[in-house]
Structure 1
Amino acid sequence: MIKARGAARRGETDAARALYREALDRFPRNSRARAALHALEAANANPPPEQLDAMIAAYHAGAMDEAVRHGARLTEQFPQSFTVHNLQGAALLALGVLPAAEAAFRRAIAADPDAAACYNNLAITLRRQNRTLEAESIYRTVIDRHPDYADAHYNLGNLLDLAGRAKEAEVAFAATVKIDPSYVEAHYNLGNLRAKRGARGAAVDAYRKAVTLKPDHANAYNNMGGELLLLDRIDEALDAYDHALAAEPENTQAIANRGKVLVLKGALPDAIAAFRHAFAIDPDDRSALLQALFEEAHICDWRHRDQFALTDGPSAAAVQPFATLPFLDDPEHQYRRSLACAAVKFGAGPEGPAQTLPDPEPAADGRTRIGYFSADFHDHATMYLMSGLFREHDRARFDIRLYSYGPPREEDASRAELRRHVDAFTEIGHLTDAQVRDLARDDGLDIAVDLKGYTRGTRSTMFGLRLAPVQVSHMGYPGTIGHPCIDYFVADAVALPPGGEAWFSEKIVRLAGCYQANDDRRVIVPDHRSRADWGLPERDGGRGFVFCCFNHTYKIGPAEFAIWMRLLGEVEGSVLWLLRSNEWAEANLRREAAARGIDPARLVFTKGIPHGEHLGRLAHADLFLDTFNVNAHTTASDALWAGLPVLTLTGRQFAARVATSLVHAVGLPEMAVADAATYETTALALAGDPQRLASLRGRLAENRETAPLFRTRDYTRRLETAYVEMQRRRLAGLTPDHFAVD
């Protein structure tokens, strides 16, 4: 105010006007500043204050039509008045009358070419008319003239973000908060952009600044929780979601996200309650319903499975399609869900819709450079299978690199063994997706292999940035990614028979034998304990038969469980040996058994133990009973390697055909049956025919040394042949295509 009055006394009218407007922009109710501005503009053909005040009062009261009527009358009397034209434009903008608002702002700028806020309003009007390039030009003009005008930087950032120009938008928001550290929404938007590019720690910092300035900013707390969750800072994430819900109790995103944290903390009933609460508030939130059903599958609560039909729709698109696998054996359905998920998760990518295809120079040593990407390079089921592949890779022909992005963990024996057999082991968990892309390209990868797909802990979206000219999905996810960034999917003719290509966005590479890697050096630790030590009945003539299934509980559905209970009813003294997953699944399965007339004590639950010991204890089982919609994968290989026959039902989707591929590849094709009735009669027949079962065991023991499933070196050569063909096609300028390796 003092500076403005001084400028007015010196006759510096434009400077005084600008200072008064700046004061009113910040303090619109400052009557002294408004009166002084009115007095200054009176000499510049402006309306008398009492006439202008009526228009201003209508505007501030939200009576935009009335403000526009006042403005129309005043512009006729005072056609050179900046104030009238600017206020008229603001009222028309609020009413959505965009061409007229644009014209008013342009008249205001003609009256005062140095009015920064008016330029800003004009740019907003142009943007709402989808004239983004013109709007951008206006914002940049304002910033050039008034580099410390925070609103112009902020609005430019929003425009650039909507245009998919994330890097430039981030620069604009960073400039905003540098000018005005109290600009809450700029901190929030900056956090969102950092999160999109995977700069999780920096995103959390931006969100923290936003919630410090505005403690009831529910969305900032919610988004901060998501980044903390990805950083494996689970308790901090839960606290963030609690703050979000304290600010906005019916924020369904925060409710559902809190449910995800509760899943990780093992509080499954509370997690289910959270998901169902979100769905109750917003019945269109099919995502929350699907998550509830998936966790109910983990605790074997099947009472609401008929609701799965309600989970389809746009709001469920962002849920990884892995969650839908247990409910339906339908490859077309899985394909459609994967496409929808990919459209949300990959989007246009943080760098824009088009990614350049890397073109690495040939390696000086002539080797093909292959990078495997996973969060599971440790004591994990996938590594039990794949460790042999890494050991047997022909390092004279292939440069093998592992890129690990799992949460920080101590070195275990599996991890140390992996390091011995590869050219490089690189931790990338702390890097953004763009940084991983740059690293992979600097390493000159020819082929990048995704070992996760749509499974927990995935960062498969980094493949959307093109880590290598050829990208492959293998082992991690039993289905399509649904995005063109993955060129090939490794399968076999049993798990994915001819015609199955229709349900994959990738080109299919079919390996002879089986697609699944295996390690023929897995150690089986002999179990010297008795059956009784495991709570199992001793073998007593025809009694004491042990059916088993060590699959995750989410794979067990009511259809197979009903068969299993009928088998217990038919086979006297038999038991069903299951893996102890969680207390609620155990209670629910016992309840389901009792409801079917089976003593719940005949369900024997066992704890998880080190892998080699687990393989040894399988000797106590007589027959492995597979699940249907999602088969045993690693668990089936475990059983076969340990000498335990596996009975499976051949389904339709890839996840429901894996065990069929395994038993074919180990030389026991009759153990894959075509329907549930045959599954039941076969299991019953084997339980009552010790000689037939012993014959199966004998064949399995013999075939283990010769059948394709466990010949790790042969498998590795077939996969390497596939890599060579992929590389040959690329170098020849050919697009990816289906092919088979004999």
Structure 2
Amino acid sequence: MSTTPSTVHYLNQAVAQQLAGEFDAAERSYLEILRLDPQHSEAQHNMGVLLLNRGASDDALLYLLAALEIEPSRGQYWISYIDALFKAGQREAAQQVLELAVQQGLQGEEVDALCFQAQEIAPYSPVSAGVPSSQEQQTLLALFNAGQQSEAAVLARRMTLAYPSFGVGWKVLGAVTVSDKEALIPMQQAALLCPDDFEAHYNLGLILQALGQLDEAAASYRRALQLNPDYAQGYNNLGVTLQELGKFEEAEASYRRAVLIKPDYLNAYHNLGIVLQCLSRFDEAEAIHRKILQLNPDYPEAHCNLGIVLLSLGKNDEAVKCFRRALQLKPDFVVAHSNLIFCLDMASSADLSELLQERKRWDERHAARFLQAAPHSNTRSPDRLLRIGYVSADFRNHSASKAFGAMLTRYDRRQFEVFAYSNYKGEDDRYTRLFRENVTGWRNISAMSDEAATQLIRDDLIDILVDLSGHSAGNRLLIFARKPAPVQITAWGYAAGTGMRAMDVFFTDKVIVPPEEQRFYSEEIRYLPSALGSFFIDPFPDLNELPALNLGSITFGSFNRLAKISGQTYRIWAQILLQVPGSCLILKTPELNERSNRERILRYFENAGLTADRIVMLGRSSWFEHMRAYQQVDIALDPFPHGGGMTAMEGLMMGVPVITLNWPILTGRLSSSLMTTLGLQDWIVQSEDQYLELAIKKSAQLRQLSALRQTLRGLFSASIIGDQGAYTRVVEQEYRALWREWCASNGESN
């Protein structure tokens, strides 16, 4: 089916007109679509349904048959055509087509219902403007309440034909239809015909939410709650929808209303804790999760979310215990296990071999059983056009996308096609739109199961599939576990190794994974000139003069998120401030909007003997203002054991060099990689004592700092990290080499 902007417009218009009962207008819109595109199967199908409901069964059958012939793989088209034959009184023909459909593999509740109809149900009389008899209504509701959904579906479908103005028939039909997409129209009709039925509006909200139509879902939930203002579940689901839309304060209010109505509503408390995390109100979130555990100590999700909060509060050891407890309660809790891995990567006592062993345990417990031996049907030609697929929840304004964005926008279209598989439910932003406009294919898999997404990727014939998340939030590693593509790579977003036997390659560099450490990894290590690229689409503020030249004292800075800043880091930073006279430290991150976070951090420094005026804490701002804050900073301080990545890059583009400790584990080597690539190894140290000494030394070199400030941006932009096109070409060379190796190992054919 081809779809042009014009047909999309007419299709949306036609569906809206059909729902509003404007059948003549809807018919004209469908006919206009078919004039523009006679092979538009959905318009053929909907036109047939419209005519059937208006009693024109002979004409309806022509359109429904046309839809089926255009797209015979659509099960709904078979069902609609067979159902129309029954309604037209062509019982024998309907039975023959039904037998053919079943022979070809058509199955499901709606097919069972048609089989039931073929055997049991007599046809209704022609369309009536009235309502069904009380006996008919009671029979329908009895079937529905007894869970006999196939039989209820048959009766409801025929009732909507005979009594199209009877809203309960549409309501039951929508409730028993398995597919959300197919349930949408009957439930919309129910809400139109039963404007005061809160369940109709609530159920419509559920369907719209499942389909990702979040604004419409929120409107339906709000209408339901106007009719039934004491429905706690409605407030909870409204909160979930608002949260997915990024409206965190409104979501919080909705969750609070739910628990006010129902004080033991664990799911609403759970969601409230999560939205408080999104608002960086970690102390409040911690209290909520602990309240849940008072109500139910064996709630694994609460232990997991408490762990996330504690990690954000710098309580790493406690967070590890929470994730381990969640896994004890729910051994297959894959998200908790990935969170445990992420948390262990932050631990100052972490050992590389232990971290990678935990990743292998994750693979053994959650992923290894899904590894498929099914062959791939990709054409084994080494030099043909290749399809590259990227999987991420971060195709948006996110730090991760600023490392991989060029892969989706600067690729060589003569050699590659790019497909993006987005695991994000929220609204598009300008980064999303930019990526969507540039890729060959865009797929949102956020509502898809791992099995369905795996099949989609196989159907798209992806040659090389790239994971952009690792074990960070929003990952879909269990898709990769099923090996939907011949070659699979982990890179960029949280590239720290996955531990998966299904992951073929890990893109990194020799600073992050030295050659002697390759043996620890499950993946084959392939080296790039730099593990990170850059993708900045907005102009940076102008460079300014070194602030210390005017102030007469050094200003240090860290703009990293608080979870990366360990107690050890605060201790060393305090020592630096004590030993560099007049110096101060600027901390900037959205989490510092919360007073409790500011008070907690200030205690670290006050306990070390520093006064509050030496610490400046700045919260959320626009990206441009965030960058402009670097104009107040002379030297950036990298946290450890988990160092900065994109934060260090942005500082370098603002002329601010970073002192970094090259930690023994790879997540503590990102800034070392950047500084090595730029030839600034004199800013890298190997111990905490050296970190302190270097900060004191560099703070005394104002002339050198001033000169470096004016050259860093140009140095970065000219490097392989800053040159988006050059970096992409290097990556594409690796793609081609990997593909040729796969072809050679599996045989070649044209």
TM bucket normalised to smaller: 0.5 to 0.7
Residue of structure 2 in register with 1:332 after alignment: 353
Residue of structure 2 in register with 1:276 after alignment: 290
Residue of structure 2 in register with 1:452 after alignment: 469
Secondary structure at the counterpart of residue 358 of structure 1: coil
For the residues of structure 2 that align with 1:700 and 1:234, how far apart are their CA atoms? Answer: 38
Residue of structure 2 in register with 1:139 after alignment: none
1:673-729 per-position Cα deviation (integer Å, ceiling 9, x unaligned): 101010011001111221343455466456335543323333222211211122122
For the residues of structure 1 that align with 2:269 and 2:550, how far apart are their CA atoms? Answer: 51
Residue of structure 2 in register with 1:547 after alignment: 556
Secondary structure at the counterpart of residue 461 of structure 2: coil
Secondary structure at the counterpart of residue 694 of structure 2: helix
Residue of structure 1 in register with 2:480 after alignment: 463
Is contact 1:368–1:399 with CA below 8 Å preserved after alignment? Answer: yes
For the residues of structure 2 that align with 1:428 and 1:714, how far apart are their CA atoms? Answer: 31
For the residues of structure 2 that align with 1:563 and 1:373, how far apart are their CA atoms? Answer: 38
Instruction: Tell me how far 1:454 sits from its aligned partner.
Output: 2.5
Task: Select which of 418, 427, 438 maps to 2:455.
Answer: 438
Instruction: Tell me how far 1:666 sits from its aligned partner.
Output: 0.9
Alignment of 1:538-687 (within 5 A): 539-540=550-551, 543-581=552-590, 582-583=593-594, 584-687=596-699
For the residues of structure 2 that align with 1:485 and 1:645, how far apart are their CA atoms? Answer: 39
For the residues of structure 1 that align with 2:553 and 2:467, how far apart are their CA atoms? Answer: 44
- Matched residue type, 2:630: L
Is contact 2:399–2:646 with CA below 8 Å preserved after alignment? Answer: yes
Secondary structure at the counterpart of residue 578 of structure 1: strand
For the residues of structure 2 that align with 1:237 and 1:419, how far apart are their CA atoms? Answer: 28
2:406 counterpart of 1:388: yes
Is contact 2:308–2:319 with CA below 8 Å preserved after alignment? Answer: no
2:327 counterpart of 1:307: no
Is contact 1:631–1:657 with CA below 8 Å preserved after alignment? Answer: yes
For the residues of structure 1 that align with 2:504 and 2:241, how far apart are their CA atoms? Answer: 29
Is contact 2:311–2:563 with CA below 8 Å preserved after alignment? Answer: yes
Is contact 2:506–2:523 with CA below 8 Å preserved after alignment? Answer: yes
Instruction: Tell me how far 1:670 sits from its aligned partner.
Output: 1.9
Q: Which moved more, 1:398-407 or 1:715-724?
A: 398-407
Task: Select which of 473, 479, 502 maps to 1:485.
Answer: 502
1:71-97 per-position Cα deviation (integer Å, ceiling 9, x unaligned): xxxxxxxxxxxxxxxxxxxxxxxxxxx
1:461-482 per-position Cα deviation (integer Å, ceiling 9, x unaligned): 3333433222221111232333
Secondary structure at the counterpart of residue 518 of structure 1: coil
Instruction: Tell me how far 1:662 sits from its aligned partner.
Output: 0.8
Alignment of 1:109-148 (within 5 A): none
For the residues of structure 1 that align with 2:561 and 2:669, how far apart are their CA atoms? Answer: 17
Secondary structure at the counterpart of residue 378 of structure 2: coil
Cα 1:232–1:415, aligned 2, differ >3 Å: closer, same or farther?
closer
Cα 1:408–1:296, aligned 2, differ >3 Å: closer, same or farther?
closer
1:140-179 per-position Cα deviation (integer Å, ceiling 9, x unaligned): xxxx9xx99xxxxxxxxxxxxxxxxxxxxxxx99769979
Secondary structure at the counterpart of residue 394 of structure 1: coil
Instruction: Tell me how far 1:615 sits from its aligned partner.
Output: 3.6
Secondary structure at the counterpart of residue 539 of structure 1: helix
Residue of structure 2 in register with 1:400 after alignment: 418
Instruction: Tell me how far 1:560 sits from its aligned partner.
Output: 1.0
Secondary structure at the counterpart of residue 708 of structure 1: coil
Secondary structure at the counterpart of residue 720 of structure 1: helix
Residue of structure 2 in register with 1:292 after alignment: 306
Is contact 1:370–1:446 with CA below 8 Å preserved after alignment? Answer: yes
Is contact 1:556–1:627 with CA below 8 Å preserved after alignment? Answer: yes
Cα 1:677–1:622, aligned 2, differ >3 Å: closer, same or farther?
same
Is contact 2:495–2:506 with CA below 8 Å preserved after alignment? Answer: no
Is contact 2:245–2:427 with CA below 8 Å preserved after alignment? Answer: no
- Matched residue type, 1:272: E
Cα 1:410–1:291, aligned 2, differ >3 Å: closer, same or farther?
closer
- TM-score after normalising by structure 2: 0.61
Instruction: Tell me how far 1:416 sits from its aligned partner.
Output: 4.1
2:276 counterpart of 1:262: yes
Cα 1:537–1:673, aligned 2, differ >3 Å: closer, same or farther?
closer
1:502-547 per-position Cα deviation (integer Å, ceiling 9, x unaligned): 4433222221x2111124876222278x99xxxx88823xx33110
- Matched residue type, 2:378: P
Instruction: Tell me how far 1:554 sits from its aligned partner.
Output: 1.2
Residue of structure 2 in register with 1:215 after alignment: none
- Matched residue type, 1:484: R
Secondary structure at the counterpart of residue 401 of structure 1: strand
Secondary structure at the counterpart of residue 709 of structure 1: coil
1:304-360 per-position Cα deviation (integer Å, ceiling 9, x unaligned): 5553564564634641332443334433343344345455655856xxx74634322
- Matched residue type, 1:482: G
Task: Select which of 388, 398, 405 maps to 1:370.
Answer: 388
For the residues of structure 1 that align with 2:250 and 2:485, how far apart are their CA atoms? Answer: 35
For the residues of structure 2 that align with 1:634 and 1:624, how far apart are their CA atoms? Answer: 13
- Matched residue type, 2:578: G
- Matched residue type, 1:688: A
For the residues of structure 2 that align with 1:180 and 1:236, how far apart are their CA atoms? Answer: 41
Cα 1:482–1:566, aligned 2, differ >3 Å: closer, same or farther?
same
Alignment of 1:485-524 (within 5 A): 485-511=502-528, 513-519=529-535, 523-524=539-540
Cα 1:428–1:251, aligned 2, differ >3 Å: closer, same or farther?
closer
Instruction: Tell me how far 1:418 sits from its aligned partner.
Output: 3.2
Secondary structure at the counterpart of residue 406 of structure 2: helix
Is contact 1:520–1:711 with CA below 8 Å preserved after alignment? Answer: no
Is contact 1:575–1:602 with CA below 8 Å preserved after alignment? Answer: yes
Is contact 1:279–1:285 with CA below 8 Å preserved after alignment? Answer: yes
Is contact 1:539–1:545 with CA below 8 Å preserved after alignment? Answer: no
Residue of structure 2 in register with 1:728 after alignment: 740
Instruction: Tell me how far 1:553 sits from its aligned partner.
Output: 1.2
Instruction: Tell me how far 1:603 sits from its aligned partner.
Output: 1.6
For the residues of structure 2 that align with 1:724 and 1:553, how far apart are their CA atoms? Answer: 40
Secondary structure at the counterpart of residue 745 of structure 2: coil
Report % sequence identity: 24
For the residues of structure 1 that align with 2:550 and 2:449, how far apart are their CA atoms? Answer: 56
For the residues of structure 2 that align with 1:339 and 1:251, how far apart are their CA atoms? Answer: 37
Q: For structure 1, which runs of at least 5 residues remain unmatched after alignment?
A: 1-143, 149-171, 182-186, 192-197, 209-217, 736-742
Is contact 1:388–1:520 with CA below 8 Å preserved after alignment? Answer: no
Q: Which moved more, 1:626-635 or 1:384-393?
A: 384-393
- TM-score after normalising by structure 1: 0.61
Is contact 2:236–2:254 with CA below 8 Å preserved after alignment? Answer: yes
Cα 1:417–1:252, aligned 2, differ >3 Å: closer, same or farther?
closer
Is contact 1:482–1:504 with CA below 8 Å preserved after alignment? Answer: yes
Task: Select which of 704, 712, 718 maps to 2:716.
Answer: 704
Cα 1:175–1:297, aligned 2, differ >3 Å: closer, same or farther?
same
